[in-house]
Amino acid sequence: MRSQVRSPAPLRGFRIRRCRELWCRSQTRLRSCAAVAVVEAGSCSSDLTPRLGTSICCTCDPDWASYTLGVFICLSCSGIHRNIPQVSKVKSVRLDTWEEPQVEFMASRGNSAARAVFESRVPPFYYRPSASDCQLLREQWIRAKYERQEFTHPERQEPYSAGYREGFLWKRGRDNGQFLSRKFVLTEREGALKYFNRSDAKEPKAVMKIEHLNATFQPAKIGHPHGLQVTYLKDNSTRNIFVYHEDGKEMVDWFNALRAARFHYLQVAFPGASDADLVPKLSRNYLQEGYMEKTGPKQTEGFRKRWFTMDDRRLMYFKDPLDAFARGEVFIGSRESGYTVLDGLPPSTQGHHWPHGITIVTPERRFLLACETEPEQRAWMEAFRKVVDRPMLPQEYAGEAARRPRPGPRAAAGP
């Protein structure tokens, strides 16, 4: 029978207590560090503030940490960091065992110190993602900072800061819905983004002026994790194009190149404006999107299901989410200009419709809309009220007449 060596009970108990003490001390130290850390900028909102007594942020939980970079991160970002193990190694603040040198390193570094190094040369036009942004933007922001170190070596920013970019993207056909490879050229000198149906074509199929261009990632709508929606004005109507690239970095570089072109255009257009004033105008995400039902201007027509997009003060509706043109656009001004939004529909409303109504009142007419569920109605009401409660800018007054109710290019097909 093999003999077994056992530690004396008092010594074994001492070791257990010692391990507990060390674990508790490391946890206390780490939680203290996390409580004062600003959550990883770019994956979590930079304005998040920790709640006293915990290390949990208001929106995002920095209960993870990269013990090689010395930063506290959230669960979502920890997965991205795990994909770059040559740069970042991750542990849970709550669940994993920490060695004393690792705790000391975290205490000596932290998010602010890491940002001072890895974000020291971020261009003002470069998009800094928030917790609500898509996976692609958050991943490429983290890789740009820590893996490629683009913001400590400005020469590595050339793909999106050179003022010219040329390449191929998969673009959705306007009529057939097929994605085909198309050549795109962005030139700040001409203030335009162009695309060509053939690589050897001399004339572009479309010229999109930077002045009126917007780009926003729409992976769910487009059906590809790198899907980008680009909008521009064509014949005073909004034209949508949908593109993607198989390489995530390539797609984000295109996105930031478009923002750079917009930034430099606005610097010339508004020479007295600060960077802080211009950055919010470089690109915008939609306030709200989704299906609602609508009726026509006589309000006696049947309700029809349409895809709606709230883009700043423009409410656009489409037969299909990936339509090139809206069936119609409605300008929504401020309360002071006679615009308001009401819960429900007038009692005289005719026809079968979804149960949760919304009435938009404009100086010209009322728009009757219906949502399928109450949460959808609340979300739309909140989006409309934010717009109506916001005072109009001088340029918005100038554009109000052109943006008032009008049919889109294919409105003849119905509401």
CATH code, domain carrying 142: 1.10.220.150
Looking at the structure, do residues 104 and 166 belong to the same domain, yes or no? Answer: no
- Does 378 fall in a domain? yes
41-85, pLDDT tens digit by residue? 344 333 322 322 223 333 355 789 999 999 999 899 999 999 999
User: Is residue 369's pLDDT more than 50?
Assistant: yes
Looking at the structure, do residues 259 and 192 belong to the same domain, yes or no? Answer: yes
Q: Are the C-beta atoms of residues 192 and 210 closer than 8 Å to each other?
A: yes
Q: Are the C-beta atoms of residues 331 and 403 closer than 8 Å to each other?
A: yes
Looking at the structure, do residues 371 and 307 belong to the same domain, yes or no? Answer: yes
- Does 334 fall in a domain? yes
d(CA 252, CA 243): 12
Phi, psi (deg, nearest 5) at residue 229: -105, 125
Residue with tokens 């609500």: 132
- Does 315 fall in a domain? yes
Mean pLDDT across 101-117: 89
pTM across the whole model: 0.83
d(CA 293, CA 304): 5
Please give the pLDDT value at position 412: 38
Looking at the structure, do residues 258 and 316 belong to the same domain, yes or no? Answer: no
User: Is residue 12's pLDDT more than 70?
Assistant: no
- Does 89 fall in a domain? yes
- Does 5 fall in a domain? no
Higher per-residue confidence, 392 vs 263: 263
Mean pLDDT across 171-178: 93
Q: Are the C-beta atoms of residues 109 and 115 closer than 8 Å to each other?
A: no
Calculate the average pLDDT of the chain.
Answer: 85
User: Is residue 152's pLDDT more than 60?
Assistant: yes
- Give the model's confidence band at 218: pLDDT under 50 very low, under 70 low, under 90 confident, else very high: very high
DSSP line for 60-122: S---EEETTTTEEE-HHHHHHHHT-TTT--EEETTTS---HHHHHHHHHS-HHHHHHHHTTT-
Please give the pLDDT value at position 22: 52
Q: Which of 43-47, 84-88, 115-119, 123-127 has the lowest mean pLDDT?
A: 43-47
User: Is residue 21's pLDDT more than 80?
Assistant: no
Looking at the structure, do residues 301 and 328 belong to the same domain, yes or no? Answer: yes
Domain's final residue, options 257, 281, 305: 281
Q: Which of 3-7, 34-38, 373-377 has the lowest mean pLDDT?
A: 3-7
Q: Which of 16-30, 253-267, 285-299 has the lowest mean pLDDT?
A: 16-30
d(CA 14, CA 328): 76
The tally of domains found in the chain comes to: 3
CATH code, domain carrying 300: 2.30.29.30
Looking at the structure, do residues 274 and 169 belong to the same domain, yes or no? Answer: yes
- Give the model's confidence band at 143: pLDDT under 50 very low, under 70 low, under 90 confident, else very high: very high
Looking at the structure, do residues 54 and 110 belong to the same domain, yes or no? Answer: yes
Query: 214 pairs with which residues across the strands?
Result: 231
Mean pLDDT across 102-129: 92
Question: Which residues neighbour 79 within 8 Å (Cβ) at sequence distance 6 or greater?
Answer: none
Share of the chain above pLDDT 70, in %: 81
- Does 320 fall in a domain? yes
Q: Which domain holds residue 60?
A: 17-147
DSSP line for 5-44: ----HHHHHHHHHHHHHHHHHHHHHHHHHHHHSPP-BTTB
User: Which amino acid, one-letter code, is at 264?
Assistant: H
Mean pLDDT across 304-311: 97
Looking at the structure, do residues 262 and 301 belong to the same domain, yes or no? Answer: no
Looking at the structure, do residues 224 and 328 belong to the same domain, yes or no? Answer: no
- Does 52 fall in a domain? yes
